[in-house]
Structure 1
Amino acid sequence: MGVPSQELNARRLRFLKGLEDNSVAIVFSGYPKILSEDEDYKFEVNRNFYYLTGVEQEESIALFIKAEGEEKTFLFISPFDETKEKWYGKKLTIEEGKEQSGIQNILLTSSFNSRLEAVLNDEINLIKNVYFDDSEELKIGSKQYVCDYIASLKNRFPLKNYVSFLPLITRLRMVKSNYEVNEFIKAIESTRLGIRSVMAECRGGVKEYELATTFSKVINDDNEYQGVSFNTIMASGVHAATLHYPNPLGTCKQGDLVLMDLGAKHNHYCADISRTIPVGGKFNEFQKVLYEIVLGCNKAVSNFAKPGVTIKELNDLAIEYLSSECLEAGI
């Protein structure tokens, strides 16, 4: 199920409210990046675009116009291409775009440049500001990044004021709606199921990648193949000393610990949790001491966290707690 139209409309209204009068904002969904000569990486939509439109399709563009007391939003999607659809699957129709995004002004991407130039080229120079996403890695064409596109706009319309909308949308996205909180809860529940399955399979002789595969299968069964939040880290024994351990080829040994850093996602809302478990299901006496110290730290930080407390203050508390408890335990 996609993002409800009411939710998307509320987001767009807040976004438009944050723009200066007499402005346009251009938001690109992105373009697939090349993996090899004959394959692209799996496309991941620009999250700012998805936040405002609910659309995941590559090569799409949202255009926001705020001028003369009016606010308009347009969504541009790719035209029908029989060859592309044969190879890569069906794309959105105009009607599907309306239903998925809640935006009624749906046009084809082939008309985007002419539409934008008509807005920016007005004789009375009504539009003063052009807002854009200045993420350096945002690819918007086969050989074009967003910075290239903005540079070309600056050459054609040098009198406009070019402004990044990232500070605005970051502030908006930091405050989560009830819908978003529920999406996180769903992602966390899938993650919980995956971790419980890993715990049941974690025994001597099992490969790290087998545990990672177990996690992936369980969450995909639960979240309808929406996948992991990021590449799963499954590190046993000394491998856990590598924070982003990349190659889970080791074999779990009885008496070792397994560090997992993982998460499931639901409609692009991602869970992210780290847990350490004993191979075979039981901690030895020394591991129990460490576990209780870390658990106590977790509870202390959770209890201290409240509005107004900074990340640095939370981190300082954790360092102080762990240091004092480890010294007291003779570690």
Structure 2
Amino acid sequence: MDKKFFIRNRSKLYETLEDQSLTILFAGEAAHQSADESYPFYPNRNFYYMTGITEPKVVFVAAKFNEEVSETLFIQRADPWMARWYGETITPDEAREASGVENIELLDKLDSFIRSQFDGRVYRHLYADLETKSWEYPARPANKFAADAAVTYPYLSVHNLYPVISDLRVVKSPEEIDLLRRAGQITADGIRNVLANAKPGMKEYELEAYFNFVLKSRGITEFAFPTILASGYNGTVLHYSANTGTAADGNLVLLDLGAQYQYYNGDISYTFPVNGKFTDRQKTIYDIVLRCNREVTKRVKPGIAFEDLNDFTIRFLTEELLKIGLIQKAEELRKYYFHHVSHSLGLDTHDVGNYRDINLVPGEVITNEPGLYIPEESIGVRIEDDVLVTEDGYEVLTGGLPRTVDEIESYMAEHNKNLQ
């Protein structure tokens, strides 16, 4: 991503900030796992959205005073010995090129810099990304900093930037849409490889390996989320991800997976018969979900309330299940459909922002994923696309996959040598 993107994002943020304010954002660092191992590091997504920096322990500070903004990035001091073990850390020139922030300082100067700011100016506001999920979650660096600052400088008004940046992220720029489109394309290619190699009796993790191979061969190093590859009964468990079962002859296989491309995520759900042929009952359930998916897509356009998509899904699935006798009254639908049909998509797979309480606007990217889950029949079907809201309607970013029963059966008959 070009640094102009991050400069533009910061400019939008500064418009929301009070004068006489100090803003601080943290990249974070890898959590400790065990012994001398840490979990992989992923930059805080709001920090990345504002700076373009993907390294741990980097801190960004912006001062807004007399309506002018000064920016400083604090990076780790180079350590030649540690570089022999783990590689070089980012240099000042690299940090400038990635972020567009001209003033680069070393991280060990952060404390003295903060003190000098409060010694030399009268700040009234402190802004930090204070995201937290619950009381039980460990405090993040930003939360600790804000708490300490509130004690040391009790006259400060502390503000949470998390909802502000989250709302900025709802509408995607053209650059972001291109990355999301590419993530979707690579995800779809991985699914085609699964279809081309599936056969009854394979372990779920063997099928998953065919998806992984395509992503790794395209330079994808991270997934949007842990892959769900669920056969038979496992497909009726919404977030099943053990992927250790066996895809028996006659099973449907439900995939929910995605490539992460330059930090932007694809998210596709796909269902197919492992032996290449749907049973009549599987066709019936699959067709209901596919028609629902397509009708939901048709309703995507600016001005539509986000919740209207799920309300429509509930009405559609209720009517169809009453017709086939799977349910006897509308209240029973929840046994077979129990999640929302959509969520925002972007730097996070379940992307941030207050999108559920507003109407759709051009530039939003959302998912469309109706499903039906019938445990007593070991049938789980979910069909998901990623959809861009355009000026006058929608664009499906994940089109091109075989989706109808006939298309899936024909694709597997033509491309899967295991079933010929």
Q: Same fold (TM over 0.5)?
A: yes
Work out which of the residue numbers 34, 37, 51 in structure 1 matches 2:35: 37
Residue identity over aligned pairs, in percent, reads 36
1:53-68 matches, within 5 Å, as 53-68=51-66
2:322 matched residue in structure 1: 327
1:179 matched residue in structure 2: 175
Work out which of the residue numbers 108, 131, 135 in structure 2 matches 1:135: 131
Cα drift, residue 213 of structure 1: 1.7
Give the distance between the partners of 1:99 and 1:62, measured in 2 at CA.
15
State whether structure 2 residue 290 is matched by structure 1 residue 295. yes
TM-score, normalised to structure 2, is: 0.74
Instruction: Answer whether contact 2:6 2:50 (CA < 8 A) is retained.
Output: yes
Give the distance between the partners of 2:262 and 2:141, measured in 1 at CA.
26
- 1:132-188 CA-to-partner distances (Å, cap 9, x unmatched) read 011237xxxx99733222211112111111101112111111111000000101100
Letter in 1 for 2:285: L
Larger mean CA deviation between 309-318 and 68-77 belongs to 309-318
Give the distance between the partners of 1:232 and 1:77, measured in 2 at CA.
34
Letter in 1 for 2:279: N
Larger mean CA deviation between 19-28 and 299-308 belongs to 299-308
Work out which of the residue numbers 73, 89, 103 in structure 2 matches 1:105: 103
Work out which of the residue numbers 231, 236, 241 in structure 1 matches 2:236: 241
1:76 matched residue in structure 2: 74
Letter in 2 for 1:212: E
Give the distance between the partners of 1:297 and 1:129, measured in 2 at CA.
49
Secondary structure of 2:120's match?
Answer: coil
| Equivalences, count | 323
Give the distance between the partners of 2:280 and 2:140, measured in 1 at CA.
58
Letter in 1 for 2:98: Q
Secondary structure of 1:172's match?
Answer: helix
Secondary structure of 2:270's match?
Answer: strand
Work out which of the residue numbers 155, 159, 173 in structure 1 matches 2:155: 159
Instruction: Answer whether contact 2:180 2:266 (CA < 8 A) is retained.
Output: yes
Cα drift, residue 225 of structure 1: 3.0
- Segments of 5+ residues of structure 2 without an aligned counterpart are 327-420
Cα drift, residue 204 of structure 1: 0.4
2:188 matched residue in structure 1: 192
State whether structure 2 residue 226 is matched by structure 1 residue 228. no
Q: Is the alpha carbon distance of 1:59 and 1:36 closer, same or farther for their aligned partners in structure 2, counting shifts above 3 Å? A: same
Give the distance between the partners of 2:237 and 2:119, measured in 1 at CA.
55
Give the distance between the partners of 2:114 and 2:213, measured in 1 at CA.
45
Give the distance between the partners of 2:191 and 2:132, measured in 1 at CA.
35
Instruction: Answer whether contact 1:16 1:64 (CA < 8 A) is retained.
Output: no
Cα drift, residue 310 of structure 1: 2.7
Secondary structure of 2:46's match?
Answer: helix
Letter in 2 for 1:51: Y
Work out which of the residue numbers 259, 264, 270 in structure 1 matches 2:254: 259
Letter in 2 for 1:10: R
TM-score, normalised to structure 1, is: 0.93
1:208 matched residue in structure 2: 204
> Which structure is richer in relative contact order (CA contacts within 8 A, separation 6 or more)?
2
The runs of at least 4 consecutive aligned structure 1 residues that moved more than 4 Å come to: none
